[in-house]
Chains A and B, each alone.
Chain A
């Protein structure tokens, strides 16, 4: 059963490197949207929350799962919408300026 864990670790470490590589290329002026955008990605726990909430296991597990779903969705929807709000301002700037 430890082998499974090791494979997961391999995936984790490689993904970390991809992340470092991609994120270093983001310019300073976009760091705030980068943060809120990557934050939205961390809402991916919605997957775990959904499974747990839908298993119909114990009552307590389901309740916790449903709260987890709500929390994760706040993170996901809030994160993406607010990032979009910011990036939209960056986009219209070239013609809006002067």
Chain B
């Protein structure tokens, strides 16, 4: 029976790998996800065959509650809220690892007796990583949902304090290796892990949350793997490693897209620096000349253009305006205007987020172009229509060395003949940085909610 269970885990791990491999193309991705889910089912059924399991009723209760909640969340969530969703799910995975560690510790702990070294080490690792993942993910999700302040929360000696906390957690783990029968020390270690999770994420600005979510995704994989070490389960280890790897890669991609080093994201307190230098270039700056336009004028510009590149940003997502963008694009195409979409790697709030949103609006994906593909085309483009994007088109990234986003690869919107910004106000973007492009003479600002503005544009283009 034990061999059978091991085989079930092997099958599950194989299915996970095949599933991830199928993610390489949109055509096979859905089937891949299904295979991965089948793998999970096989793993769960295999586990239930374990002869050590004596009572099933509580497993069923816990499983039913969890499944119900998971199903409800997955159905109810808006595509715009996907980053928070992934963060929350991630947190639950980490929380489960922490709980397994705690439960195993409580089961195995005998006053006075020593735990086998490998078991003990695995339990403490699972507890610590799981706790950090749980608390960190929840704070990150809170920041993305704007329940928790998105601005970096900093206090003096923060990094030092975190280091002490981390070393303290590790030290408590070590102490427990020598004298395991100390519940209060174990509890303190758990609290330290949770606190560390909160404190590691809270100083990181809202704009960097996608990186944090990727990183925590990686942690939740590592947490699963360490749980595998706790109960000597190969299936858990393999799957955890897969997730850990995918999280690491996505973290790298995000960092590269923002031209930030990994350590800079984690320890930079991004956004705080801006607050300091914000007096000159930030919100407080004296109002400079901005050319405000009407929907009518913008529609004329668009309607008589030969080529238009739409640059969607998070503002589009917030306004749920992906469908209106497509309607406008369809209308323009009917008039013979060539319409393309330029997708910045960090458009939206997680890698690939904008693609999902546009997919929801049925925008055909051959029309979506990555940054490297489309940047040379701006020069030959009549109108760049920026919908709710800001930092990813800010030329300061190219020519203002003291700007916090200096060096970040951007879409070369400023090279287009005309730029139309659909924006709610002149407020700086998520990163809190002013955009000189607003004040450029070829820029037209159309203020208002992106969705309303687009609807007006659709009306006006019909009349052109």
Contacts and interface: CB of A to CB of B under 8 A. Distances in A.
Contacts of B250: 23, 31, 34-35
Contacts of A2: 117-118
Contact of B247 (A12, A38, A89): A38
- A contact face: mostly helix, strand, loop, or mixed: helix
Residue among A4, A55, A77 facing the most chain B CB atoms (10 A cut-off): A77
A49 B29 contact: no
Contact of A22 (B21, B69, B229): B21
A3 B164 CA distance: 32
Nearest to A65: B103
Contacts of A37: 19-20, 23, 32-33, 36
A57 to B, nearest CB: 4
A90 B231 CA distance: 39
Given A54-B50, A78-B73, A93 B99 contact: no
Interface residues of A, number: 88
B232 A8 contact: yes
Residue among A19, A22, A38, A78 facing the most chain B CB atoms (10 A cut-off): A38
Interface in B211-257: 213-214, 217, 220-221, 223-225, 227-250, 253
Interface string B36-66: 1100100110011010111110110111011
Nearest to B364: A97
Interface stretch (B351-359, B391-399, B451-459): B351-359
B352 A30 contact: yes
Contacts of A11: 234, 237-238, 241
B354 to A, nearest CB: 9
A49 B33 contact: no
Residue among A74, A87, A94 facing the most chain B CB atoms (10 A cut-off): A74
Contacts of A60: 103, 106
Contact of A40 (B40, B50, B363): B40
Given A31-B253, A32-B353, A48-B233, A39 B54 contact: no
B43 A32 contact: no
Contact of B71 (A4, A22, A33, A78): A78
Contacts of A66: 58-59, 61-62
Contacts of B223: 42, 45
Nearest to B242: A19
Contacts of B249: 20, 23-24
A12 to B, nearest CB: 5
Contact of B30 (A23, A38, A44, A87): A87
B153 interface: no
Given A33-B33, A41-B243, A60-B106, A22 B70 contact: no
Given A29-B352, A78-B74, A84-B33, A38 B50 contact: no
A68 B351 CA distance: 29
Interface in B333-356: 343, 345, 350-353, 355-356
B379 interface: no
A54 B54 contact: yes
Given A29-B26, A67-B62, A40 B356 contact: no
Nearest to A85: B74
Contact of A29 (B69, B85, B355): B355
Nearest to B326: A97
Interface in B129-175: none
A82 B231 CA distance: 29
Contact of A98 (B213, B229, B364): B364
B319 interface: no
A72 to B, nearest CB: 4
Contacts of B232: 4, 8
A44 to B, nearest CB: 4
Contact of B53 (A12, A51, A76, A98): A51
A54 B249 CA distance: 36
Interface string A55-77: 11110111011111111111111
B236 A48 contact: yes
Contacts of A20: 245, 248-249
Contact of A58 (B30, B106, B122): B106
21 contacts: A5-B229, A12-B238, A23-B249, A29-B365, A29-B368, A41-B242, A42-B240, A46-B47, A55-B54, A67-B62, A71-B93, A74-B67, A75-B89, A75-B92, A76-B67, A78-B70, A78-B74, A86-B82, A91-B26, A93-B362, A96-B364
Interface of A: 1-2, 4-5, 8, 11-13, 15-20, 22-58, 60-62, 64-94, 96-98
Given A16-B244, A72-B66, A77-B71, 4 more contacts: A41-B221, A54-B50, A83-B33, A93-B362
